[in-house]
Amino acid sequence: MSALEIMDPKMDSGIERSQYNSIEEAIEDGVAPIPLSMDRTLDVQCSIDVMDHLFSCEATWHKGHTLAQTVFTCIYLMRMERTSSHAVLNSFCRILRATCNAIISVVSTARTHEEEDLFTMSFGLPLRDEGDDKCLSILNSVEETISRQLRACKAQAFSKKKTPEDLESLQNNPDMEEDYCRAMLCRLRFRKHFYHVVMSMRKPHGRGLELARKHVASCLTELSLMLKSREFLKSQSNITLQDDENCTTASGCQPVGFDVSLNSRLLSPTPPRAVKVLSWSNAIRYFEKLLHDLDVICALSLDPVLENVLRFIVQFQKSVPDLVPRAFLQTLLVQDGKLYGQNLFSDVISRALSLPDIIGDKEFQMNEFVVQLGQLVINLLKILCTNAAWQRRKLGKSLQDWSTISIQLELALKREFGETRNVLHHENMCMRVSKQLLIWTQEQAYWVASRFLTLGFELDLYSPGEYCMVYWYMYVVFTKLIEKMQLRVLSSSETSRRKGKKKKDHSKDSVRDTTFSSSCLLLQCYVLLSEGLSMMLAVLRNESRSFQLPSIFNSEQERFMQHFDLLQKARVPEHISYYSFKESSSQAGITDLMKYNFFREIQKIIPSLRGSFASQPEKLAELRQIEQVAEHNRIALNIISQVGPDDPSMRVSFEFTHHPHFAVAVVKRS
């Protein structure tokens, strides 16, 4: 769990008892009749209501509740053999159970269920059956029967001919036959296509991604048809007052065949309180977002370049995906200890070092440090696929591992080759690889640190009084990150020149260098924003006594350690402490701030970056956000300078209106 909240149904389950002591007793009392009604029209209506409520229960389960309190509150699922005479209900329940089982397998493999540890608990529920492997063929048979009936209805309406005698109608009212067929078909087809999505995405090496995208598009089409069927289903119900935000079915009727508390009697680990199931409208919205997230994953190009993979995950996390899509992403990225199940992580590291000659080199693959770094990269990918709270906590702890291996690499380099750290013309290949491996490891440590710091804003962990120290630390980390990036590229460029490459290879290097310079310039924007905001806040602290931290419970130094203790223990960066921050911030003045004008410098850099990122919409969006932050802060800084930071009538606040990590100063006069 990310947090423990009193009275959260997932943790504080209370006591609610079912009036039945067993499933058989509930069945005998008529809770789950087969058929659902002797009136065939009402039987179809009730079947659709059961489908809709199960749809809402499935979405609720995905949100972190238990199967026993959601999907398996359905007695038809608990006693599947009873539905064999009801083809529609039997086919729907079978494929739903098979889908749930497949999703549990994916989430268990990814181990992202640690965030919601109740997700994969089966409580002894009947999740598997001998006939489940035929669920698709059973559903296809039912779908074909209803499709033929729908085609017959359309033909009859067009030619005024009677329905062929060999086709049995879905229900008794011929005027509503077509609408009921449509409502039933879109629900069955959604289940079929969603099952295909799940099974295709589980295929190794990403082989099913293209097929999964086609089924995702089909799922979204069926969801829109389900929404269209709502008006017809509502019109057939006898309920006049319907609250769409609380109804778990499209018709607004209560479904038959469910008992929310029965499992708490039968299965001892089951939490005894019933949970609030998502409304049908919210379930539709959940699945729409889920499918869009899965579509983004399916569009992944399986690029083996680590920098691009990390960028993709960070971009994907901006949409705040739920547990299931993050589990699918992780199982795609890490399969059998390889990237996408295809690329050894030693080869991924060699590409990151810009040393293609050692890809596949057995000695490099078996190197102790490379093996450890490969495991660290695997852990990093898995961590980045967790939710924001878990991600930040685990990133902070993993920094110690990156720092330790960095120190070990540095000591080994000194032991083997002495104190020389510059790139020499006569150095051997082993020495060059060792140096580049050290620089790359340090670069990754600073990248992890930057991610750790920025996630604090997304989780609202920093108060306005702490922004100054946070932006100062971000400035130091981003500066170090640029420094290591430049060293790595310089080292690889030197290696390339020494080998005397062909002209074609030089053109590839020039493309890479352009990309590198663009990445460096973007990081430089982050450096300038962090330094500018840190100095602005320091000036306001020094000259107007605003944004001062209260010292009732803890001092500023204690706050500093609370936020950055994990970075300090990992020595990221080295020789940085609270006293470094205090010395830097205490000397900040409005004159120096106006002189350096960090925000104007950003506006000079951005035009040159637009051309470089012309083919990357997410980067262009990021540039627009940075430009807006820089422009607003430049204007605010001019106002503060003109009025004077010590003017008692001036009120300055900071808002995250344009960027999630970089604040905008808002100046008001009282």
pLDDT-based confidence at 246, cuts 50/70/90?
confident
- The pLDDT of residue 355: 77
> Does residue 209 belong to any structural domain of this protein?
yes
Residue 38 maps to a domain: yes
Q: Is residue 584 part of a domain?
A: no
Count: domains in the chain: 1
* Contact yes or no for 537/468 (Cβ under 8 A): yes
pLDDT at 161 over 60: no
Is 219 within 8 Å of 197 (Cβ atoms)?
Answer: yes
Six-digit token pair at 248? Answer: 């778990």
In a domain, 117, yes or no: yes
Of all residues in the chain, the percent with pLDDT exceeding 70 is: 87
Residue 333 · residue 385 · CB < 8 Å? yes
The verdict on residue 346 lying in a domain is: no
Where do the H-state alpha helices sit in 545-596? Answer: 556-569, 578-586, 590-596
The pLDDT value given to residue 500: 52
**Mean per-residue pLDDT, 612-632:** 94
Q: List, in order, residues 6 or more apart from 222 with CB less than 8 Å away.
A: 186, 187, 189, 190, 193
Element (H, E) at 655: strand 650-655
21-72 tens-digit pLDDT: 788 988 999 899 999 999 999 999 999 999 999 999 999 999 988 888 899 9
Amino acid 122: pLDDT: 77
pLDDT at 124: 78
Q: Residue 129: pLDDT above 60?
A: yes
Give the torsion through C-alpha atoms of 409, 410, 414, 416, to 10 deg: 10
Residues 21, 24: Cα–Cα separation, whole Å: 9
* Mean pLDDT score, 471-477: 97
Both tokens of 597, joined, read 């004008």
Q: What is the rounded average pLDDT of the residues 8-12? A: 54
Average pLDDT over residues 317-334: 95
Tell me the backbone φ, ψ of residue 655, rounded to 5 degrees. Answer: -130, 150
pLDDT in tens, 197-245: 999 999 999 999 999 999 999 999 999 999 999 999 999 887 755 667 7
The stretch 445-474 carries a mean pLDDT of 96
Q: What are the b/e assignments for 254-274, b being 16+ CB within 10 Å?
A: ebbbbbbbbbbbbbeebbbbb
Query: Does the pLDDT at position 410 exceed 80?
Result: yes
Q: What's the N-to-C CA distance of the chain in angstroms?
A: 44
Could you say which DSSP state residue 74 is in? B
More confident residue, 132 or 10: 132
Q: What is the pLDDT of residue 543?
A: 85
> Has residue 1 got a pLDDT over 50?
no
- Please give the pLDDT value at position 170: 83
* pLDDT in the model for residue 423: 46
Mean pLDDT of 402-419: 87
Give the three-state DSSP class for 304: coil
Helix axes 556-569, 429-458, angle to 10 degrees: 150
What pLDDT shows up at residue 442? 95
At residue 607, the pLDDT reads 92
Question: Residues 256-267: what's their mean pLDDT?
Answer: 80
596 within a domain of the structure (yes/no) = no
Following DSSP, what letter does each residue of 87-106 receive, concatenated?
HHHHHHHHHHHHHHHHHHHH
What pLDDT score was predicted for residue 171?
A: 82
633 and 609 in contact (C-beta within 8 Å)? no
Residue 234 has which token pair? 């509502």
With the CA atoms of 445, 450, 451 and 453 taken in that order, what torsion angle do they form, in degrees rounded to the nearest 10? Answer: 120
Selected residue with higher pLDDT from 89 and 241: 89
- Look at 68-77, 160-169, 296-305, 631-640 and tell me which has the smallest mean pLDDT: 160-169
pLDDT at residue 3, as a whole number: 55
Query: Is 60 exceeded by the pLDDT of residue 165?
Result: no
Q: Give Cα separations from 401 to 247, 386, 480, 521 (angstroms).
A: 50, 19, 18, 29
Q: Can you read off the two tokens belonging to residue 136?
A: 């698709």
Per-residue pLDDT tens over the stretch 494-528:
665 555 544 444 444 444 444 558 889 999 999 99
pLDDT at residue 384, rounded to an integer = 96
Average pLDDT over residues 441-469: 95
Reported confidence tier of residue 260, pLDDT bands at 50, 70, 90: confident
Q: Give me the phi and psi of 272, to 5 degrees please.
A: -80, -10
- Residue 539 belongs to some domain of the structure: no
pLDDT given at position 492? 72
- Highest-scoring range by mean pLDDT, 149-158, 315-324, 609-618: 315-324
What is the structure's pLDDT at 14?
47
Which residue type is seen at 633?
A: N
- Residue 594: its pLDDT value, please? 87
**Domain around 85:** 23-295
Q: Which region among 100-104, 242-246, 287-291 has the lowest average model confidence (pLDDT)?
A: 242-246
- Least-confidence region, from 16-20, 77-81, 498-502, 611-615: 498-502
pTM for the predicted model, two decimal places: 0.89
Tell me: pLDDT of 167 over 70.
no
- Residue 339's pLDDT is 96
Q: What is the pLDDT of residues 417-445, one digit of tens each?
A: 776 545 444 456 778 888 899 999 999 99
More confident residue, 669 or 346: 346
The angle formed by the CA atoms of residues 432, 433 and 437, to the nearest 5 degrees, is 120
- Across the range 277-300, mean pLDDT stands at 96
- 3-class secondary structure per residue, 107-123: HHHHCHHHCCCCCCCCC
Is 132 inside a domain boundary? yes
Q: 266: closest CA among 56, 79, 10, 55?
A: 79
Give me the mean pLDDT over the 596-616 stretch: 91
User: Per-residue pLDDT for 638 more than 70?
Assistant: yes
Residues contacting 616, CB < 8 A, separation 6+: none
Q: State residue 653 phi and psi, 5-degree precision.
A: -130, 165
The H helix count followed by the E strand count for the chain is 23, 5
